Amino acid sequence: MDKKEKWENNMREMEKSRNKKEAEKKSELTFIFVHGLTGWGSYDLLDQAMPYWGFFGGNVINYLKEEGYDCYGASVDPYGSAWDRACELYAQLAGKVVDYGAEHCSRSHHERFGKDYSTAPLIEDFDQARLVLVGHSFGGATVRLFSELLRNGSEEERAVTAPEELSDFFKGGNEDKIFALITLAAPTNGTTAYDLYDDVTFDESTVILPRDLDIRTWPKEGNWLKNHMKKNHKTKELWDYADYDMHIDHALALNSRISTFDNIYYFSYPCSSSIRNREGHIVPDLECTAEFFLVTAFYMSFYMGATAGGLRIGEEWQSNDGLVNEISARAPFGQVSEPYVEGMPVKTGIWYVMPTVKGDHMHLMGGVTFHTSVNIRPFFVKFLDDIINLDESK
| Cα–Cα dist 59/22, whole Å | 15
| Cα–Cα dist 350/332, whole Å | 11
DSSP string for residues in 268-316 = EE-EE-EEE-TTS-EEE-TTTS-GGGHHHHHHHHH--EE-TT--EE-GG
Range 308-325 average pLDDT: 97
Q: Each residue of 240-257: pLDDT tens digit?
A: 999 999 999 999 999 999
Alpha helices in the chain (DSSP H): 3-19, 46-49, 60-66, 82-94, 102-108, 139-152, 155-160, 168-171, 192-195, 224-230, 242-245, 248-255, 294-302, 377-393
pTM score, two decimals?
0.91
pLDDT at residue 15 is higher than 80: no
For the chain, the average pLDDT equals 90
In the chain, helix, strand, coil percent, each to 5? 40, 15, 45
CATH architecture of the domain with range 3-190+222-270+324-393? 3-Layer(aba) Sandwich (3.40)
Which strand (E) or helix (H) includes residue 354? Answer: none
The CA-based dihedral angle spanning residues 226, 228, 229, 233, taken in that order and rounded to the nearest 10 degrees: 130
Q: Each residue of 17-40: pLDDT tens digit?
A: 554 445 688 899 999 999 999 999
Residue 30's DSSP bridge partners are 70, 131
Q: Each residue of 164-216: pLDDT tens digit?
A: 999 999 999 999 999 999 999 999 999 999 999 889 898 888 888 777 665 54
Nearest to 62 by CA among 27, 26, 14, 117: 14
On whether the CB atoms of residues 302 and 208 are closer than 8 A, the answer is yes
Q: Each residue of 332-371: pLDDT tens digit?
A: 999 999 999 999 999 999 999 999 999 999 999 999 988 8
Residue type, 229: M
